[in-house]
Chains A and B, each alone.
Chain A
Amino acid sequence: MGDQILHQLIIPILLVVAVVLPLTLTVALYVYWERKVLGWMHVRMGPNQIGPLGLLQAFADVVKLICKEVILPTNANKFLYYTAPLLALIPALAAWAVIPFGARFALSNANAGLLYLLAMTSLGVYGIILAGWASNSRYALLGAMRSAAQVISYELAMGLCLVCVLVLAGSLNLTDIVNAQAGHKGILDWFMWPLLPVFVVYFVSGVAETNRAPFDVAEGESEIVAGFHVEYSGSTFALFFLAEYANMILVSFLASLLFMGGWLSPFPESVPVLGHTSFIWLLAKAFFFAFLFLWFRATFPRYRYDQIMRLGWKVFIPIAIVWVFVAGCMKYYGWVHIGTGG
């Protein structure tokens, strides 16, 4: 009995904590890094007062947010107003269940991992829409509308990009997808080369899907104040914030796993030390993509709303559809080397 409880209850819970806790810490440090990078790009210092090098800034912000009062707007739908942040956060965390961190470590090595990810990322939009509607505010509703339309449009392009990957890999299992990118040529075996246009489309769609600059019209500070979460304060706002950053890190991890070989080394296996597969490679790649999010934010001005829709529907989706066909040809005629084991 005790043994069964240990194996079916306690160990899974410990494993979940082992993923979610570092994730939350990473979000805190990511926010610090974002402010620091933006600062450097604007020739400012960024946060540098709290803790050594300002490292504790994010934690100070968390304490501040938790201590603040949670305000309920007049005539807001109370139940939905309080559930909306949870509806945003739960899918963002649940998606991490199928992410493999190494050849042998994933919370759930599900066969339909990629499908599950699609399902979870498509659920996140409910938090945003309901937050906008339940706040009983024009700005929030407008933000929610913009976000819903944007997320649905870019999800299509993203889904088609994932189809290209799974056509080449021949599997929906994320561990298998990474293993399919293994080979003797290191970096040249990764899916980013045969699927280069789709790789770009995927990452840009990921930026749009997480409502980040330059596609952040859902928040559009200069037009609709802060969009869907304008009425949220204190810890409820912190939950939205956490969900958004967890999603950004998720997109970074997915881009590294699906297109850049996950934990595989960019060097051929014959190179000593550097040629070994390692968790560190995955972290380095994800860090690179996470940095791109910040770089984009500091570089590009915000897209106009109709331009975002045009880019999604008239540019990305056609490219992705054509490349599904190309990927099919690559697989059928064996133009691409597909690895089998890691």
Chain B
Amino acid sequence: MIDPSVFQLVCFYAFAAVTVIAALSVITLRNSVQAVLSLVLAFFSTACIWMLAEAEFLAIALIVVYVGAVMVLFLFVVMMLDIDQEKLREGFVKYLPVGLIVAVVMLVEMLGLIGVRVMHTQTMGVNPATAAGMSNTAWLGMALYTQYLLPFEVAALILTVGVIAAVALTLRQRTGVRHQQASEQVAVKASDRVRIIKMAAERPVDSQPASAQESKS
């Protein structure tokens, strides 16, 4: 007899192990394309873990947004770059102390955060979506667009500002570039391009053969 909860636990540990291994190989693999692919795997198995936790919307959104779009662009850039691995490794020793300090500070901060959370042991309430008898996606949509409408709109506004800023930063006005104007191309008529002239058929003045003319001149 397979106990569903035991099976779920086994799945959780399997996905978690894959996530950790993939995350580790992101920083250990030499080849940058393989590193990006490991990151994709890490995202994918994280999505699987979230799916186990019944957060179906977040899980699928992670795949659609990060795996399906962001990482594809990432891969795109990494594949185009011709990265010189040796040059990158030169600075390794130089930056090692700085890197270690940052890592230690981050570790202490994380441990502190976990410690604070442990002290305030709060039990998780029941899943609000199940309590309301709705699917996870429907409940999340309902909560975002009613209770949290203002924060949601503010977040959307900040993202829009980010998009406009990115466009403004990279926009260059270049002179001498001839852009294609699709509307003009569609609106063009045959009469604008070709002139058809009616004319009478012309005849040679004398009907001597061409070879005779050549020999004369």
Which positions in A face B, CB cutoff 8 Å?
1, 4, 8, 80, 111-112, 115-116, 118-119, 122-123, 125-126, 129-130, 133, 141, 144-145, 148-149, 151-152, 155, 159, 172, 306-307, 310
28 contacts between A and B (CB under 8 A): A4-B1, A111-B137, A112-B56, A112-B135, A115-B56, A115-B61, A118-B64, A118-B68, A119-B67, A119-B68, A122-B63, A122-B64, A122-B67, A122-B69, A123-B67, A129-B72, A129-B76, A129-B79, A141-B79, A145-B76, A145-B80, A148-B72, A151-B72, A152-B69, A152-B73, A155-B69, A159-B64, A306-B180
C-beta contact mask, B105-141 vs A, less than 8 Å → 1, else 0? 0000000000000000000000000000001111000
Bound Cα distance from A155 to B64, whole angstroms: 10
B18 at the interface (CB under 8 A from A): no
Other-chain contact of B63, A4, A123, A144, A145 (Cβ < 8 Å): A123
Instruction: Check if B57 sits within 8 Å of A112, measured CB to CB.
Output: yes
A111-B56, A129-B75, A172-B137 given; name 5 further pairs at CB < 8 Å.
A111-B135, A122-B67, A122-B68, A145-B76, A155-B68
Main SS class of interface, B: helix
Given contacts A145-B76, A152-B73, contact A123 B68 (CB under 8 A): yes
Instruction: Check if B60 sits within 8 Å of A119, measured CB to CB.
Output: yes
Set of chain A residues within 8 Å of B60, measured between Cβ atoms: 112, 115-116, 118-119
A335 → chain B closest CB, angstroms: 21
Set of chain A residues within 8 Å of B63, measured between Cβ atoms: 119, 122-123
Set of chain A residues within 8 Å of B135, measured between Cβ atoms: 111-112
Instruction: Determine the residue in chain B with the shortest Cβ distance to A314.
Output: B182
Instruction: Check if A133 sits within 8 Å of B69, measured CB to CB.
Output: no
Which 9 A-B pairs rank lowest in CB-CB distance, beginning with the nearest?
Answer: A122-B68, A111-B135, A119-B63, A115-B60, A119-B60, A119-B64, A112-B137, A118-B64, A112-B56
Instruction: Determine the residue in chain B with the shortest Cβ distance to A315.
Output: B182
B137 → chain A closest CB, angstroms: 5
Bound Cα distance from A149 to B6, whole angstroms: 43
Set of chain A residues within 8 Å of B76, measured between Cβ atoms: 129, 145, 148-149
Instruction: Check if B2 sits within 8 Å of A4, measured CB to CB.
Output: yes
Bound Cα distance from A159 to B33, whole angstroms: 28
Beta-carbon contacts under 8 Å, B7-60 to A? 33, 37, 40, 56-57, 60
Other-chain contact of A115, B33, B37, B79, B137 (Cβ < 8 Å): B137
Bound Cα distance from A123 to B56, whole angstroms: 17
Instruction: Check if A126 sits within 8 Å of B79, measured CB to CB.
Output: no
Bound Cα distance from A149 to B79, whole angstroms: 13
Instruction: Determine the residue in chain A with the shortest Cβ distance to B70.
Output: A152
A206 → chain B closest CB, angstroms: 16
A31 → chain B closest CB, angstroms: 28
Q: Which of A80, A130, A172, A306 gathers the greatest number of chain B CB atoms within 10 Å?
A: A172
A132 → chain B closest CB, angstroms: 8
Instruction: Check if B72 sits within 8 Å of A152, measured CB to CB.
Output: yes
Set of chain B residues within 8 Å of A119, measured between Cβ atoms: 60, 63-64, 67-68
A116 → chain B closest CB, angstroms: 6
Bound Cα distance from A1 to B56, whole angstroms: 30
A326 → chain B closest CB, angstroms: 19
Set of chain A residues within 8 Å of B1, measured between Cβ atoms: 1, 4
Bound Cα distance from A4 to B4, whole angstroms: 12
Other-chain contact of A111, B33, B72, B138 (Cβ < 8 Å): B138
Bound Cα distance from A192 to B61, whole angstroms: 27
Instruction: Determine the residue in chain B with the shortest Cβ distance to A110.
Output: B56
Instruction: Determine the residue in chain A with the shortest Cβ distance to B4.
Output: A8
Instruction: Check if B182 sits within 8 Å of A310, measured CB to CB.
Output: yes
C-beta contact mask, B60-95 vs A, less than 8 Å → 1, else 0? 110110011100110110011000000000000000
B217 → chain A closest CB, angstroms: 48
Bound Cα distance from A172 to B67, whole angstroms: 21
Bound Cα distance from A48 to B61, whole angstroms: 48
